[in-house]
């Protein structure tokens, strides 16, 4: 498994069959929304730290955000079901500030060892990717975890999970 971090810049647009539902949060209305369509938010006391909002996105009108004016811990996830066995790639974009104690995106429940992609301070949009994910369980959970100090923010956009065969057919 290969995990990559890439800085913002010119990227080639390749058409793939993205398996993530609401990957760029465009199914949520403009403004600030605490119901993230297609994603589940889990937290003892900090569900309000996970929301979608408009403005300063990587693409489209909306993005996913973790932010709160108090220290917080929140986990947001989506389980993609009915995935044919194969080798897949996963990508997403993020931008964030200072103040994370622990922040990562993870892939799990796909039939292999969980993949944890650490989120480091960026300030501007950065692409992260994990390649060669062998999915054998027919599903894959995508999770976003933030344990952060008051005022920490992270914006996320354009999640993509696709079969590598999609690239071979182009």
80 falls within a domain? yes
- Are the beta carbons of 94 and 122 closer than 8 angstroms? yes
Coil, strand, or helix at residue 99? coil
Range of the domain at 104: 36-162
pLDDT grade, residue 111 (50/70/90)?
Answer: very high
Coil, strand, or helix at residue 167? helix
How many structural domains does the chain have?
A: 1
97 falls within a domain? yes
Coil, strand, or helix at residue 148? strand
4 falls within a domain? no
> What is the arithmetic mean of pLDDT over 14-24?
91
How far from the centroid of its chain's Cα atoms is residue 73's Cα?
16
- Are the beta carbons of 110 and 135 closer than 8 angstroms? yes
* 68 pLDDT above the threshold of 80: yes
* 169 pLDDT above the threshold of 80: no
Can you give the pTM of this predicted structure? 0.90
Average pLDDT, the chain: 91
Q: For 145, phi and psi rounded to 5 degrees?
A: -120, 135
**pLDDT greater at residue 12 or residue 91:** 91
Sheet holding 2-7, edge to edge: 2-7, 126-135, 86-96, 153-163, 62-67, 50-54
pLDDT digits (tens, 9 = 90+) for 4-13: 555 444 455 5
Highest mean pLDDT of the ranges 8-22, 28-42, 71-85: 71-85
Domain containing residue 128: CATH number: 2.60.120.260
27 falls within a domain? no
């Amino acid at each position: 498994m290969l995990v990559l971090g890439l800085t913002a810049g010119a990227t080639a647009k390749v058409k793939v069959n993205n398996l993530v539902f609401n990957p760029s949060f465009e199914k949520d209305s403009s403004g600030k929304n605490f119901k993230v369509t297609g994603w589940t938010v889990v937290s003892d006391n900090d569900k309000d730290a996970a929301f979608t909002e408009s403005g300063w996105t990587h693409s489209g009108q909306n993005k996913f955000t973790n932010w709160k004016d108090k220290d917080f811990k929140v986990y947001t996830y989506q389980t993609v079901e009915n995935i044919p066995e194969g080798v897949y790639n996963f990508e997403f974009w993020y931008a964030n500030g200072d103040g994370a104690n622990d922040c990562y995106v993870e892939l799990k429940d796909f039939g292999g060892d969980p993949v944890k992609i650490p989120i480091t301070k960026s300030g501007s949009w950065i692409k992260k990717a994990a390649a060669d994910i062998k999915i054998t369980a027919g599903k894959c959970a995508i999770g976003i975890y933030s344990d952060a100090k008051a005022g920490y923010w992270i914006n996320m956009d354009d999640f993509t999970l696709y079969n590598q065969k999609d690239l071979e057919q182009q």
